[in-house]
């Protein structure tokens, strides 16, 4: 069942949990997400980061499959464009049938980010879709383990949300994209203040590598969407390497695909359980 980001985050808010948002880069990845969600009987966000993953498969190709399988799913699924940074890309996703988009103007000035996000809001409204936007920057992790990015200021976030009317805010509070070089240091007070002042769900980008306890603390502070992909892809690669080492004779591509899907599905099931925040089932 295909639903919007706003509706799926309403479910999260009512349950004091976070919805897992998993990126897909292949048919196997899409199947892993939906199978994990169905087996856990839990809503999920299926998303595509065109800026990062468009080199592997075009948005126009994978997007149609994402929407079709989401519509057929036995649980609520939001199909979301992750880190959309131009209006052509956003319109393409919405034309395909995506129920939500993210406009990422975090690299722009505050004024430009507001103006562009407001226009992205207008486009999403035309299609009956939801919108996530970003203020601050996740950045990258430096050699000392310090996050090299701009943390989201809660007071500025309040103004940003008031002027853009977004459905969810991607905020920077100590996470980074990709693999962590050291233990992340998250600013939980910042999450609480952002949520208090904006009254919109907070989105965590860079979920791979966070401890289960820290995930739960973030959820209790107001995080309602958690992006998670890198570790699932890494663990799937590890599973393929192990399978290949144990295989005598020919190694077939279809066996590689199945191994990757099963590994990713189990990683996603584990993440969904943690993000449910101690809820046994929904």
Length of the chain in terms of residues written: 282
Label residues 58-71 b or e (16+ Cβ within 10 Å = b): ebeebbebbbebbe
Picking from 130, 107, 128, the residue whose alpha carbon sits closest to that of residue 21 is 130
Which has the closest alpha carbon to 29: 42, 17, 19, 44?
Answer: 44
Tokens of 192: 């609480």
Annotated binding-site residue? 207: yes
Is 177 a known ligand-binding residue? yes
Contacts of 54 (CB under 8 A, 6+ apart): none
72: exposed, middle or buried (Cβ count in 10 Å: 0-12, 13-18, 19+): exposed
104 is in an annotated binding site: yes
**Cβ neighbours, 10 Å, residue 83:** 25
Q: Is 206 marked within a binding site?
A: yes
83 labelled binding-site residue? yes
Whether the Cβ atoms of residue 172 and residue 137 lie closer than 8 Å to each other: yes
| Cβ–Cβ < 8 Å for 136, 172 | yes
**Which residue of the set 82, 85, 153, 187 is catalytic?**
82
Known binding residue 26? Answer is no
Alpha-helical (H) ranges within the chain are 5-15, 27-40, 50-53, 59-72, 87-96, 110-126, 154-164, 188-198, 212-221, 230-245, 253-275
Q: How far apart are CA 215 and CA 186, in angstroms?
A: 10
Residue 229 annotated in ligand binding: yes
Between CA 235 and CA 202 the distance in angstroms is 27
**82 counts as catalytic:** yes
Q: Which residues are annotated as a binding site for Zn(2+)?
A: 83, 104, 134, 177, 205
Catalytic residues: 82
Q: Which residues are annotated as a binding site?
A: 83, 104, 134, 177-178, 205-208, 227-230
Q: Which residues are annotated as a binding site for dihydroxyacetone phosphate?
A: 178, 206-208, 227-230
């Amino acid at each position: 069942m295909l639903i919007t980001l706003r509706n799926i985050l309403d479910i999260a808010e009512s349950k004091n949990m976070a919805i897992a948002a998993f990126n897909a880069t292949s048919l196997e990845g899409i199947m892993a997400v939906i199978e994990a969600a169905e087996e856990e009987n839990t809503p999920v966000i299926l998303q595509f980061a065109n800026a990062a993953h468009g080199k592997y498969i075009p948005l126009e190709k994978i997007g149609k499959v994402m929407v079709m399988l989401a519509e057929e799913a036995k649980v609520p699924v939001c199909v979301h464009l992750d880190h959309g940074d131009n209006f052509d890309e956003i319109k393409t996703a919405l034309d395909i049938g995506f129920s939500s988009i993210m406009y990422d103007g975090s690299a722009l000035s505050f004024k430009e980010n507001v103006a562009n996000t407001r226009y992205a809001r207008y486009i999403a409204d035309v299609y009956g879709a939801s919108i996530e936007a970003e203020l601050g920057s996740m950045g990258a992790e430096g050699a000392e383990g310090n996050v090299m990015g701009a943390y989201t200021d809660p007071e500025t976030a309040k103004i940003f949300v008031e002027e853009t009317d977004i459905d969810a805010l991607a905020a920077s509070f100590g996470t980074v994209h990709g693999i962590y070089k050291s233990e992340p240091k998250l600013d939980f007070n910042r999450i609480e203040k952002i949520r208090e002042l904006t009254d919109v769900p907070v989105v965590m980008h860079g979920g791979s590598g966070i401890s289960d306890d820290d995930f739960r603390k973030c959820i209790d502070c107001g995080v309602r969407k958690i992006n998670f992909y890198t570790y699932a892809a890494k663990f799937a690669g590890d599973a393929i390497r192990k399978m290949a080492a144990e295989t005598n004779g020919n190694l077939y591509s279809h066996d590689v695909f199945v191994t990757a899907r099963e590994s990713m599905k189990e990683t996603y099931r584990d993440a969904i359980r943690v993000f449910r925040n101690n809820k046994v089932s929904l």
